[in-house]
Amino acid sequence: MSVLEARALTYRTEDRPLVEDASFRLEPGELTMLIGPNGSGKSTLLRLALGLLAPDAGEALIDGANVRRLSPTARARKAAYLPQTRPLAWPMPVRDVIALGRFAYGAAPGRLSAEDAAAVERAIAACRLAGFEDRAADTLSGGELARVHLARALAAETPLLVADEPVAALDPRYQHEVAQLFAAAAHAGRAVLTVVHDLTLAARYADRLIWMRDGRIVADGSVAETMTAERLADVFGIDAEIAHSGSRVSLTVTGPAR
């Protein structure tokens, strides 16, 4: 059974569809990246898939159960969600922020069961945050904060991890660090779905790409299968050169499509 199955998800505002007839499946152990130009409906599709937004048509199933019928707690135990990062309301210490990932298990900062505390420690180790535990969140760099948010999501130890632009506005080094952490999380057995804007990063780390344009999924497959010059021109309106070396695909963007 797929970890997540989206069936013909559709969501419209009054005048236009934001997501139209979107279907896909996520399998454990795969890092799937959702790419598409601004306004193509990526964030809306994530929220629909997680059941945070009610679709106008279609349904999303997590482990075979319709997400809209799961309680918030039951859903959060199946799927961890990293929305586009917003500043924390209060400068809480790193350990307390990560502890919030255990909320669905009844935990709270300063009130963790042995199991919760162990999960938090594993997440801290996985995101290489040892030594940062007592730092206030507002003293961290962007890259450190991105790792804290990822650790918070990993601490829930869910079979599914969904993230919306987790590497946006990070320096290249941090982008690659965070992307590697996502890849590691996937290869440890999770299904991971993340929106990414940087196409080179997507080509480098994704096991699978889902391409969106105008609210529709226009392609779904491995990087080698789907990353073509025609598709880049069609979806993103850019001219690019694609080079294959072994299983690795690299692209060079030469300019906007003529």
Binding residues for other proteins (CB under 8 A): 50, 52, 71-73, 75-77, 80-83, 86-93, 96-97, 100-101, 103-104, 108-110, 136, 149, 152, 156
Q: Is residue 156 within 8 Å of residue 100, measured between CB atoms?
A: no
Distance CA 107, CA 76 (A): 13
Least spacing, CB of residue 13 vs other proteins, in Å: 15
Least spacing, CB of residue 247 vs other proteins, in Å: 33
> Directed axis angle between helix 142-155 and helix 114-126, to 10°?
140
Distance CA 7, CA 45 (A): 11
Which is closer to other proteins, CB of 39 or CB of 72?
Answer: 72
Backbone angles phi, psi at 79, to 5 degrees: -135, 125
3-state DSSP assignment of residue 228:
coil
Which is closer to other proteins, CB of 137 or CB of 170?
Answer: 137
Least spacing, CB of residue 122 vs other proteins, in Å: 17
Which is closer to other proteins, CB of 119 or CB of 251?
Answer: 119
Distance CA 158, CA 77 (A): 6
Which is closer to other proteins, CB of 21 or CB of 63?
Answer: 63
Closest CA to 129 of 102, 155, 148, 143: 148
Which is closer to other proteins, CB of 96 or CB of 198?
Answer: 96
Q: For residue 137, what is the DSSP state? A: G
Least spacing, CB of residue 57 vs other proteins, in Å: 22
Least spacing, CB of residue 241 vs other proteins, in Å: 38
